[in-house]
């Protein structure tokens, strides 16, 4: 048993400081998550994972993985190329915890509700160490894209869904489990992947790629889906990291990106130098093939901000509950309660909408949900990621100067907050994709409108706001209004989900402040919230 630190020092007594949080339970302490899975087959497994992730020792692994970022190892001592990245042991322990829990595998197993369970795992891991989510998310998302080639899928999918973490440098056939990365972006095109210049030339039973990729996340993955220009046009390829003959595929690591956040995860600039690859999908159909992977990674970028916000608000609530000012606990002061309750509404909305979208991805979902999935995931990603940085900054401010200090998780969470808004399509890309989807995807517009209508009659303010939205935009807007249109649509969709599923304190507060707009422009500029009911969701043992 660990001995407590000494509070009575020679120069002063340490007082009015919150006690260390110790072991947490990310499941039991989160009724919003628990309610969403009550009575489901995944509840017990998620409860076990939440308990493990909340332990002080597990959270310390996350801190260690961030304090000791990955290191590039290009050459051995004799100058032979290795092109590897070395990770801290804490990174590998967290990867093992996630993959063995089914982070990448669960949606593709026979039981229903797999994508929702996966989304819950993303949410839980994002509260502890978001960097390891990247390779696990890409591994999960690669499965539907591999359906474009049954032979490749037969080799790769069993390894990608093996519920095992095997970081060994070995060919696919020798591994207990594998991970899959993605390398699309080039410096001259960015999101415009049709401007990619990497070349692909047929070579025997495969292809050889030559070119540069500006971003390659998780460069120690066992394979990568990538885009290159074949004679027929932009085509998708699968690049194995290690070759079956026991040699190294010439995938050159040029440097690791020195990123603001996501520091436990490596992101690299790479070069293909006659690198061996398998074609995936039809020649010239690269975007159509890889979009299956992108769509599923977008689900994770929609739900991850909810986890970041939950972690930040948990820290702020614990601090306010354990510290006094002017003879009162901070949590008992009306202004602090108003700020935290107002912030909590964004977290609740992001979690509820993220899980609703995840349900639309599940195989058992009907025609309505399948049509809803693509526009809804864009809306969820857009809104959650625009809200997260502000929520986390306010949570940081609630701790005062300590919130800016690396002894707390707030700096890590703050650095991470912008990432999911950039990855897999920044705000403008997402808004334009939303307009294209609503204009072209069969059933998407009708499914979205039906989802909005499902909450009509529950709250007159919602009904009026929905009518105003439709009057303002009877047709899709011009490009210049795409953000306004997407934001309002995302708020209404979130309100629709909350009105049907959340406690009255949450749904009423969200509608009053976000839908009806009875609030100021900054967090806590509100009136009339049921702060007791809302804050009880952050800490079921207090309010």
**Given this model, what pLDDT does residue 194 score?**
78
Burial category of 333 from C-beta neighbours within 10 Å (exposed 0-12, middle 13-18, buried 19 and up): middle
d(CA 262, CA 92): 15
- Confidence band, pLDDT 50/70/90 cuts, at residue 543: very low
Q: At which residue do the structure tokens 């690859």 appear? A: 277
Residues of the chain above pLDDT 70, percent: 99
Kindly list the domain boundaries of the chain, sorted by start residue.
43-284, 288-535
Q: What is the pLDDT of residues 215-248, one digit of tens each?
A: 998 999 999 999 999 999 999 999 999 999 999 9
Residue of 328, 293, 324 whose CA lies nearest to 183: 293
**Given this model, what pLDDT does residue 193 score?**
79
Q: What is the pLDDT of residues 249-270, one digit of tens each?
A: 999 999 999 999 999 999 999 9
Residue of 380, 376, 392, 193 whose CA lies nearest to 291: 193
pLDDT at 364 over 90: no
d(CA 175, CA 173): 6
Q: Looking at 57-131, which runs of residues are DSSP E strands?
A: 71-75, 81-86
Backbone angles phi, psi at 401, to 5 degrees: -60, -30
- Confidence band, pLDDT 50/70/90 cuts, at residue 200: very high
- Confidence band, pLDDT 50/70/90 cuts, at residue 196: confident
Strand 267-280 to 251-256 pairing: antiparallel
Superfamily of domain 288-535: Butyryl-CoA Dehydrogenase, subunit A, domain 3 (1.20.140.10)
CATH 2.40.110.20, domain 43-284, yes or no: yes
């Amino acid at each position: 048993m660990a001995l407590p630190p000494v509070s009575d020092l020679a120069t002063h007594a340490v007082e009015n400081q919150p006690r260390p949080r110790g072991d947490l339970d990310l499941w039991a302490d989160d009724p919003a998550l628990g309610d969403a899975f009550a009575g489901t087959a995944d509840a017990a497994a998620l409860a076990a994972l939440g308990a493990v992730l909340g332990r002080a020792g597990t959270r310390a692994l996350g801190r260690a993985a961030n304090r000791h970022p990955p290191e590039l190892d290009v050459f051995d001592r004799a100058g032979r190329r290795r092109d590897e990245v070395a990770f801290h042991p804490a990174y590998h322990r967290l990867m093992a915890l996630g993959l063995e829990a089914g982070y990448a595998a669960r949606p593709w197993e026979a039981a229903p509700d797999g994508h929702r369970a996966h989304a819950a795992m993303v949410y839980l891991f994002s509260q502890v160490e978001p960097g390891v989510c990247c390779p696990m998310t890409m591994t999960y998302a690669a499965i539907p894209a591999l359906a474009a080639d049954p032979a490749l899928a037969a080799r790769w999918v069993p390894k990608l869904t093996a519920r095992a973490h095997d970081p060994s440098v070995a060919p696919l056939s020798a591994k207990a489990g594998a991970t899959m990365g993605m390398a699309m972006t080039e410096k001259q095109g960015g999101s415009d992947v049709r401007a990619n210049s990497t070349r692909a030339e047929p070579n025997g039973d495969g292809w050889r790629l030559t070119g540069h990729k500006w971003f390659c996340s998780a460069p120690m993955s066992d394979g990568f889906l990538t885009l290159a220009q074949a004679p027929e046009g932009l085509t998708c390829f699968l690049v194995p990291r290690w070759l079956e003959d026991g040699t190294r595929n010439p995938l050159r690591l040029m440097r690791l990106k020195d990123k603001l956040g996501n520091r436990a995860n490596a992101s690299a600039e790479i070069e293909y130098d006659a690198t061996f690859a398998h074609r995936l999908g039809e020649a010239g159909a690269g975007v159509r093939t890889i979009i299956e992977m992108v769509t599923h990674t977008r689900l994770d970028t929609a739900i991850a901000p909810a986890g970041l916000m939950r972690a930040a608000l948990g820290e702020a609530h614990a601090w306010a509950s354990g510290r006094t000012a002017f003879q009162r606990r901070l949590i008992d002061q009306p202004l602090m309660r108003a700020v935290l309750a107002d912030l909590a509404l964004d977290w609740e909305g992001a979690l509820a909408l993220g899980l609703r979208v995840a349900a639309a991805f599940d195989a058992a979902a009907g025609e309505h949900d399948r049509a809803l999935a693509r526009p809804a995931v864009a809306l969820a990603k857009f809104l959650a990621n625009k809200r997260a940085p502000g929520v986390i900054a306010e949570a940081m401010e609630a701790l005062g100067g300590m919130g800016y200090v690396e002894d707390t998780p707030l700096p890590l969470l703050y650095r991470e907050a912008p990432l999911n808004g950039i990855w897999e399509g920044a705000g403008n890309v997402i808004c334009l994709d939303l307009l294209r989807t609503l204009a072209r995807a069969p059933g998407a517009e009708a499914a979205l409108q039906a989802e909005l209508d499902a909450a009509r009659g529950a709250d007159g303010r919602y009904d009026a706001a929905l009518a105003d939205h439709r009057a303002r935009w009877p047709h899709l807007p011009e490009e210049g209004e795409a953000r306004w249109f997407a934001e309002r649509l995302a708020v209404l969709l979130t309100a629709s989900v909350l009105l049907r599923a959340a406690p009255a304190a949450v749904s009423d507060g969200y509608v009053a402040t976000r839908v009806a707009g009875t609030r100021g422009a900054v967090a806590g500029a509100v009136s009339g919230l049921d702060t007791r009911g809302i804050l009880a969701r952050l800490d079921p043992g207090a309010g």
